[in-house]
Amino acid sequence: MEIGSNNDELYSITLFVVLISGCIVIGHLLEKNRWINDSITALLTGLCSGMIILLTTKGKSSRILEFDEQLFFIYLLPPIIFNAGFQVKKKQFFRNFMTIMLFGAVGTLISFCIISFGAKLLFASLDIGALELRDYLAIGAIFSATDSVCTLQVLNQDDTPLLYSLVFGEGVVNDATSIVLFNAIQRVDLSHVNSKIAAQFVGNFLTLFVTSTLLGIVIGLLCAYLIKKLYLGRHSTDREVALMMLMAYLSYVMSEMFKLSGILTVFFCGIVMSHYTWHNVTQSSRTTTKHAFATLSFVAEIFIFLYVGMDALDIEKWKFASDSPGKSIAVSAVLFGLVLVGRASFVFPLSFASNFARKSKSDKFDLKQQVTIWWAGLMRGAVSMALAYNQFARSGHTQQPGNAIMITSTITVVLFSTIVFGLMTKPLVKFLLHPPMLPENGIPSETASPRSFLTPLLGNEEEVEVGKENSNIHRPSSLRMLLTTPAYTIHHYWRKFDDAVMRPVFGGRGFTRLDPVSSEEPSVY
């Protein structure tokens, strides 16, 4: 193999690495005046770079790498989702699990239905080309996928733990649900839609959801058991770190191999690993894995938004849109309007239902918090782009006018929602929530972003043993507890089962060896 034959590819990769490094430096310089986040920085850098490349190549191309769906779904998405599960504060996540699932799963289904059928009704008068029923359903899944990182960077999880937990948890579950929906759509025969086909679609969705989750849990437990029994750290911490990384990635690729949802699998694998496996490794391995996973996630997200910014100026797709700019603008406006309506159609009704079920006034969502939740899910990001490419283009290219318009409209919605809404997020949240709920000087706290390698959210300090913390308090009967506070009751009995059965087998807090390298107790992050 001659190295010289790949010079063009090496130049492209080198330039992309330079741009990613530039995004990190610019993001650092803008940290004190956080009006824009890393996603917006990468998008704007990609747009500027795309413009320069477009001028340099005399309008032939605006990007230096070709988009590949496999690159996104197999290499870039797994570290982002795994880190979300690995770094999540599990106590808050599972304490609000029912509400998170209500918004993330049920809410996404409601938004999916409204966007799909709204697009079918409204696109008929726009004459954008021959779109099938599968395309309209795919549009619903594509534009149901949110990107709430802008809001999370402004919210403070210490001052608004309930709101932060819901926005973060819903964002992850929403992405997973959207991808599961998209995959289920590809499997169902939509040539003759009837009640049987609808039941099959629901069955496929539920099967994907449950089996993907179980696979992630099983692989996470297997990794915890192996590391606990073998205790690799007594010889080499490198083996521990390598095994954790490989098992995490194995969960994703196995799920994709079995045609399941890799995003759900790797998310729950991350949760299980942080609960059991992370406590079984040595102190140095804990520090290494925590920052390694977060760094990979950070770089992957920068890479995605940088590419989206470049590809937004791809002349091939915009040629079709330039023939009828009014039509392209109309499609983008319709899609964004459906996103607004679809989001509102479940946030406010489900917030009312959630408030009705909550006894404590402090746990209920007031109108300002509901508006914040609604706003947090209006931005569209990398998942929407990847699904749109998957449905309407191959390797980023398309020669069909209808498909090209859908790609350019998706790009328009992503750019507009991320940049414009992202810039408005900080002043809006500051206006809606009381000043004490925000960090001083408007600068996000160290725990403000789940996707930044500088802001680990492992939250093990929250892993207080439920059942021990209030052991002297008289508890009502189990049935009464279940009826009045189901989430707390399930959490209480899960902790008892976890302490009695799971931790003695798979390890975890209180069931680990001391670090042989240090005489100190393992640190609590």
Selected residue with higher pLDDT from 421 and 336: 336
Phi first, then psi, for residue 163 (nearest 5°) are: -65, -45
Least confident stretch, 34-43, 413-422, 469-478:
469-478
Check whether 519 has a pLDDT greater than 50. Answer: no
Helical H runs in 194-324?
195-230, 237-257, 262-272, 278-280, 283-311, 315-323
Residue type, 430: K
Tokens 């790609």: give the residue. 407
Instruction: Quote the radius of gyration of the chain (alpha carbons, Å).
Output: 23
On the question of pLDDT at 86 being above 50, the answer is yes
Q: Which residues pair with 408 in a beta bridge?
A: none
d(CA 309, CA 44): 6
Calculate mean pLDDT across residues 75-94: 82
> Which residue did the predictor score with more confidence, 157 or 476?
157
Instruction: State residue 343's pLDDT score.
Output: 93
Task: Kindly tell me if the per-residue pLDDT of 484 is higher than 80.
Answer: no
Query: How much is the pTM?
Result: 0.77
Phi, psi dihedral angles at 394 (to 5 degrees): -125, 120
**What pLDDT, in 10s, does the model give residues 251-295?**
999 998 888 888 889 989 999 999 888 888 888 888 888 889 989
* Residue 286 CB coordination number (10 Å): 23
- Residue 394, strand partner residues: 397
One-letter amino acid for residue 189 of the chain: D
What pLDDT score does 247 carry? 93
In whole angstroms, give the CA distance from residue 139 to residue 339. 11
For the chain, the average pLDDT equals: 77
Count the helices and strands in the chain (H runs, E runs).
24, 0
Position with higher pLDDT, 35 vs 106? 106
Closest CA to 144 of 184, 183, 169, 171: 171
How far is the CA of 80 from the CAs of 296, 364, 487, in angstroms? Answer: 7, 30, 28
